[in-house]
Every structure is written in C-alpha cells, then in structure tokens.
Structure 1
Amino acid sequence: MIRAYLRVASSDLRLAEITEFLGIQPDDSHDIGDQSLSRPTHRYLWSSWQRHLDLGESISGGTEGLSSAIEGLEFGLADALGVLAARSCDVALVVVQELDDRGDTGLHLTAPAIRWLARAGALVDVDQYVEGASFSRAASNWIEGRMWDLRKVRWALLRGGGVGRRNGQRP
C-alpha cells in the first residue's frame, strides 16, 4: 500500500500564513508552539501544512497512481509552493509505502510529475515500512550478510591489511 501527501514546513511562517498564501486548507497541520499529540510535553518549533494526494484505486500497490495524482495538480499550486520554497520553507512530496510479500516495492514517477515537483521546489521523502514475515526474514538475512562482509573488512583493517590489499601487498 502507498499513500502520499504534499508538506510545507516552516520555522518562520505561521500555519495561517502558509494556508492563506496557498489558498487551500490543509488536510493535516500544526502550528509553531502547538502541543504534540504523540508527545504531550513536546511543542512544535515549526509549522506544518499537509495536503493528501488521491492515488485512486490502482494496481501495483498504488505506485502508478502517484504520478497521475501529481500530474493532476494545478501548476498554480506548484508555482505557489516554489515561492514558499524560495522563502526558506521546506516543501516535500512525502511518500509512505508499506512493503509486503505480495506488492511491488518500486516507485514510478513520470517526467511530467518530476517537472511539477521541480517547479514546486519539492524534495521527495520516501518512508518504507516492511510488512510480512518472509519479507522481514529476507531483509534480515540480507543485512546479516552485509554485516559479515563489514566484519571481514574491519578484521582486515585491524590486521593491518587495509582495503584494496591482496595478501598483504599494496595495490
């Protein structure tokens, strides 16, 4: 499954200023000084404006719906976001992808979608979460294999062998 949203974050502008400038109400938001719902003792040091993208009902866990959703956005919004990005706001397309044993693990962005994001001055922030026992096991095995390789490199360095040396000889 995949979901995505546009996010504007600013430590200078208040939420009301961002919303007024964009002319669109956020789906989720918080203002500078608001109390965090997940951490009651924490107050936000930045404003955050978020607008969810409608990815529609699509195959491949929604990956092809991402480009369609971006391409369907108005260029006026991209231009307004670009102005905010130039004013030191962080503008991002945030993609949250839950990976499992059944779905695709890739993301597909078309050239027009990339052009829209560039016009908006947006970075792409991808969060991926692993679901499913066999996928988790495969990921864990892959990581363990890489850790073994790193331990061998560390051992070689401690022995004075160094990276790029073969049989103790310099390259």
Structure 2
Amino acid sequence: MSAFRMYLRVVSETLQPEEISERLGAEPDETTAIGSRRRPQSPPRSHSTWIRHAGRARPEDLEPVILAWGPDLAASLGRLALSGEAAVCLEIVQEIRDPDDPQQTGIALSPALLSWLATSHASLDIDQYIHHDCPDPAP
C-alpha cells in the first residue's frame, strides 16, 4: 500500500451533497449529508461533505489525476468557495512506516497543481502519521 493518499473535500453547512454536485457539474466518490448520523446514537451532522478521491500513490503521481478533473471543475470549486457556502480542501494523508524509505517521505507539488488549487480556492491539508516500533521503556 502506498504511503500517500489524496482527495478533494468540499464541506458545507448549508448545501446538501446533491446541491454541491449540481453546482460543480461533477459527481463525488463519497458524501455525507447534513442531518445524517455516523451511528444511530450519534448526533446529526451539522455539515455535508462531498469527496472525490485522487488515489493512493506519491503526490507527484496523483497530480495528473487532479489536473485531469479539468479547469472547469477548478473554476466551479472556486466560485463555490468564494460564495461562502462551502470550503474546499485538497487533503494529503501521509503514513510513514519506514523513515529511511525515500518513497514514503517528501511532498512536492508542481506549479500546475498549485495553480489548479489557486483557481479552486482550495486550502491544502497535510496529515502525517509516523508509525514506528518504540522500545519498551526502562523499568
């Protein structure tokens, strides 16, 4: 499994996922709706999420996937973000299991991807998790 995964997330406190899809002219890979519940005993969600997955690979290998979503989607995301009705974010999740493996470390984003993100008015969120075996503490 790759040490990286990337996805685009749109969050709104006023729009349901279907409305986001209509505004973007694009379909998500997964959604959650305002008022839905994670479990029956959970409180209702106060926001909706609209997610499109780029995949699992190094970020530079996933850039063509995002860029293939096209400038029209980026512009629609930008209009939605500027309306104040939703927040747009590119999420990069990095899991490092071997810090000595150069394929698991380092994040480089091209000017083309940064331009796409700027057009979409998306923020960038990088979550990094380092998994390692720690020796047992001394008694």
**TM-score of the aligned structures, taking structure 1 as reference length:** 0.69
Deviation digits for residues 100-128 of structure 1 (CA, Å, limit 9, x no counterpart) = 21343211100011000000000001111
| CA positional deviation for 1:44 | 0.8
For CA contacts below 8 A with separation 6 or more, give which structure has more relative contact order: 2
CA shift, 1:24, in A, is 2.0
Letter in 2 for 1:10: S
CA shift at 1:72, angstroms?
2.4
Matched residues, number: 129
Runs of 5+ in structure 1 lacking a partner?
Answer: 56-60, 138-171
* Superposition deviation, residue 32 in structure 1: 0.6
Tell whether 2:93 aligns with 1:96: yes
Which one has a bigger Cα radius of gyration?
1
Change (3 A) 1:71 1:24: closer
Inter-partner Cα distance in structure 2 for 1:23 and 1:71: 16
* TM-score with structure 2 setting the length: 0.83
* Other structure's SS at 2:42 match: coil
| Match in the other structure for 1:127 | 127
Higher fraction of strand: 2
Q: In 2, are the aligned partners of 1:81 and 1:120 still within 8 Å (CA)? A: yes
Structure 2 unaligned spans of 5+: none
What RMSD, in angstroms, separates the aligned Cα atoms of the two structures?
Answer: 1.9
- Paired with 2:130 and 2:5, the residues of 1 have a C-alpha distance of 15
Residue 71 of structure 1: CA displacement?
2.6
Change beyond 3 A, Cα 1:40–1:128: farther
The answer as to 2:26 corresponding to 1:29 is no
Is 2:94–2:128's contact at 8 Å kept on the other side of the alignment? yes
**What is the identity percentage for the equivalent residue pairs of Structure 1 and Structure 2?**
36
Which consecutive segments of 4 or more residues in structure 1 shift more than 4 A?
A: none
